[in-house]
Structure formats: C-alpha cells, structure tokens
Amino acid sequence: QKEVEQNSGPLSVPEGAIASLNCTYSDRGSQSFFWYRQYSGKSPELIMSIYSNGDKEDGRFTAQLNKASQYVSLLIRDSQPSDSATYLCAVNRNNNNDMRFGAGTRLTVKP
C-alpha cells in the first residue's frame, strides 16, 4: 500500500461543475496536509493547507480532512478550464521533514 494514494484519473468535469479530488493516507500520526496544483511541465504550487478535522474554504477551493478515516479531499467549485492540471496530495508525517506525496490526479475541465 502506498503511503499516500490518489486516483490517477483523468477526472473530467464540465465547466462550472464541482470537481472532487480524494486522497487517503496510511500513517495515523500525520498532522499536516496539503494540496498542490501542477501544470504540465511546471513545478507544484500550493493551493491549500489543512491541519484540523473539518472543512477549510479559500475562494473556490475547499479542503476537507477526516483523520479518523484517514482521508483528505479537495473540492473545486465553479470549475474553469484553467483548473485543468494535476493535483498532488501531500501528507507531512509527524510534523517533520517526512513529507509524502501522492502520484497526483489529473483533472480536465471541459468548456
């Protein structure tokens, strides 16, 4: 079992729809969780960080964390073609330098 698992996709949604990206992790001691967006040929850029159970909203993005079920998700409302990218889930185990990344979910938003 991979430490951080994501559905590789591709996930395709129409413009204006809600895109739902999911991530599960194996280490119950994990404390910090991050979502990165990576356009093809570019470096990852941070979208959201979440540290506590529940929802965290930032504009069109909402991160959801459930430590008991060991999953973290990212919702993108009113999806735009410019949201088309690969989304990486990252989990920091024990709040040290042991950051583990999922392989990413490729999202395509169709006009």
Chain residues that interact with other proteins, rule: CB under 8 A? 4, 8, 31-32, 34, 36, 42-46, 49, 88, 90, 92, 95-104
Closer CB to other proteins, residue 17 or residue 108?
Answer: 108
User: Residue 4 Cβ, how far from other proteins at the closest point, in Å?
Assistant: 8
Closer CB to other proteins, residue 49 or residue 108?
Answer: 49
Closer CB to other proteins, residue 17 or residue 31?
Answer: 31
Which strands, in side-by-side order, build the sheet including 71-76? 4-6, 19-25, 71-76, 61-66, 54-58
Measured at the CA of 107, the angle between CA 106 and CA 111, to 5 degrees, comes to 145
- Give the pairing type, strands 30-38 and 45-50: antiparallel
